A and B are shown apart, each in its own frame.
Chain A
Amino acid sequence: GAVVSQHPSWVICKSGTSVKIECRSLDFQATTMFWYRQFPKQSLMLMATSNEGSKATYEQGVEKDKFLINHASLTLSTLTVTSAHPEDSSFYICSARDRGYFYGYTFGSGTRLTVV
């Protein structure tokens, strides 16, 4: 079945630095990938839709200059948290889908970001 690989699984960074998270579709091509954020004991909130070869679409309230998304190929999307602050600490998860809506979405294993 479709596999989405996400790295790193956890990262600790200092306040003010930038962190890049990668999301790869291993056995299929994904023109669209989705990035979610999850706070403890809460559900997933969509941050942005990553589109291969074009600009990402951000949800209302998500700062596009802070959360930079690049979808340079059909198998890789990256999320860069720029000038990270402690309030950016969260669990970030990406997802993609192989083929059309008849098939469900596959999620990465998530990245736990801690900003100190």
Chain B
Amino acid sequence: KQEVTQIPAALSVPEGENLVLNCSFTDSAIYNLQWFRQDPGKGLTSLLLIQSSQREQTSGRLNASLDKSSGRSTLYIAASQPGDSATYLCAVEDNNAGNMLTFGGGTRLMVKP
């Protein structure tokens, strides 16, 4: 059974810092990995999707990498802003799990002005 772990569980940084969020998964037989953002009491907003054949994806100040063989992904946020404060979730879609997503526990990010 796929297990997804995110480290750290919580992170507080001053504005302007570059930061890295980590995601690891136990079964490398995945279709893709997706990073989401969730604001309190809201749904999920997709940030980046990395296919299993890709190494990284970029969108603005966000860069996500994928090392499928080692079961790891990182989300890099450049020049963090208070508006980046949210919970970040990674999820993998398994080849063998009926296209369902398995989520990590999330990283709660607070960017202080």
B-contacting residues of A (Cβ < 8 Å)?
6, 32, 34, 41-44, 46, 49, 57, 91, 93, 95, 97, 101-110, 112
Give residues of chain B (30-54) contacting chain A, Cβ–Cβ below 8 Å. Answer: 31-32, 34, 36, 41-46, 49, 51
Contacts of B89 in A (CB 8 A): 43-44
User: How many Å lie between the Cα of A109 and that of B43 in the bound state?
Assistant: 4
Task: With A43-B89, A43-B106, A44-B89 as known contacts, state yes or no: A105 contacts B43, CB within 8 Å.
Answer: no
What are 22 residue pairs bridging A and B, where the CB atoms are less than 8 Å apart in the complex? A32-B99, A34-B100, A42-B105, A43-B104, A44-B103, A93-B43, A95-B101, A97-B99, A101-B93, A101-B99, A102-B32, A102-B51, A104-B32, A104-B49, A105-B93, A105-B101, A106-B46, A107-B36, A110-B41, A110-B42, A110-B43, A112-B41
* Residues in B whose Cβ lies below 8 Å from that of A109: 42-43
CA–CA, A110 and B44, complex, Å:
8
| Max chain B Cβ within 10 angstroms of own Cβ: one of A34, A41, A57 | A41
Is there a chain A Cβ closer than 8 Å to B113's Cβ?
no
Of A43, A107, A108, the most chain B CB neighbours within 10 A belong to A43
- B49-92 interface bits toward A, Cβ cutoff 8 Å, 1 = contact, 0 = none: 10100000000000000000000000000000000000001010
User: Least Cβ distance of B100 to chain A in Å?
Assistant: 6
Which residue of A32, A46, A101, A112 is within 8 Å of B32 (Cβ)?
A101
A18 to B105, CA, bound (A): 30
- Measured CA separation A44–B49 after assembly (Å): 18
Contact B46 A105 (CB under 8 A): yes
Expressed in whole angstroms, the Cα–Cα distance for A14 and B69 within the complex equals 50
Tell me whether A43 and B105 are in contact (CB under 8 A): yes
Collect the chain A residues with CB atoms within 8 Å of residue B104's CB.
43
Assembly CA distance A103 to B50 (angstroms): 9
Please measure, in the bound complex, the distance between the C-alpha atom of A105 and the C-alpha atom of B90, giving whole angstroms: 12
Choose one: B34, B41, B108; the contact of A105 (CB below 8 Å): B34
Chain B: which residue is nearest A107 at the CB level?
Answer: B44
| For the complex of A and B, 9 pairs with smallest distance between CB atoms | A104-B49, A107-B44, A109-B43, A110-B43, A101-B31, A43-B103, A107-B43, A104-B34, A43-B105
List, in ascending order, chain A residues with CB within 8 A of B43's CB.
6, 93, 107-110
